[in-house]
Amino acid sequence: MNPYEIANQLAEAISMHADIQRLRQLKMRIRNQEAAKNMMDDFFSKQKALASLYQSGHSPSPTQVEEIQKLAQVLSNHPLCREYIDLEMKIANLLNEIQQIISEPIRLATWYSEEI
């Protein structure tokens, strides 16, 4: 078995997954609604900034946390935005589960594994 071929097959299967297809549809619909697009752009921009803060070892200010919480609340009131964010989280969980499956043979082979 060639792992690269299998990885490409997995990528194709993920690309064809119903949730990925729906995410693409939602993305297009949201981008065609200026207000929804602007809210999503603002939310993800602020989310990215918070992630950068955490990665650099800093904590966001209470104002920054409150601001993104308010944006998340506003987005949750917009049906398309809410569905998009919920679906994105569902897909992230799917990818995490796939990553765990793929990583298991490597984990078993590492020094710290008790298995031989």
Is 53 within the bounds of a domain? Answer: yes
- CA–CA separation, 97 vs 89, rounded Å? 12
Residue 37 lies in a domain: yes
- Does residue 114 lie in a domain region? no
78 neighbors 36 (Cβ within 8 angstroms): yes
Name residues whose C-beta falls within 8 Å of residue 49's C-beta, 6 or more positions apart in sequence. Answer: 64
Whether 43 is in a domain gets the answer yes
Question: What mean pLDDT comes out for the span 1-13?
Answer: 95
Domain containing residue 42: CATH number: 1.20.1500.10
pLDDT at 116: 65
pLDDT in tens, 39-50: 999 999 999 999
Portion of the chain with pLDDT greater than 90, in percent: 88
Say if residues 50 and 68 touch (Cβ distance below 8 Å): yes
Q: Structurally, how many domains does the chain consist of? A: 1
Q: Which domain holds residue 72?
A: 3-109
115 assigned to some structural domain: no
115: left (phi over 0), alpha (psi -120 to 50) or beta: beta
- Chain segment 67-102, per-residue pLDDT in tens: 999 999 999 999 999 999 999 999 999 999 999 999
Q: Is residue 73 part of a domain?
A: yes
Q: Would residue 116 count as lying in a domain?
A: no
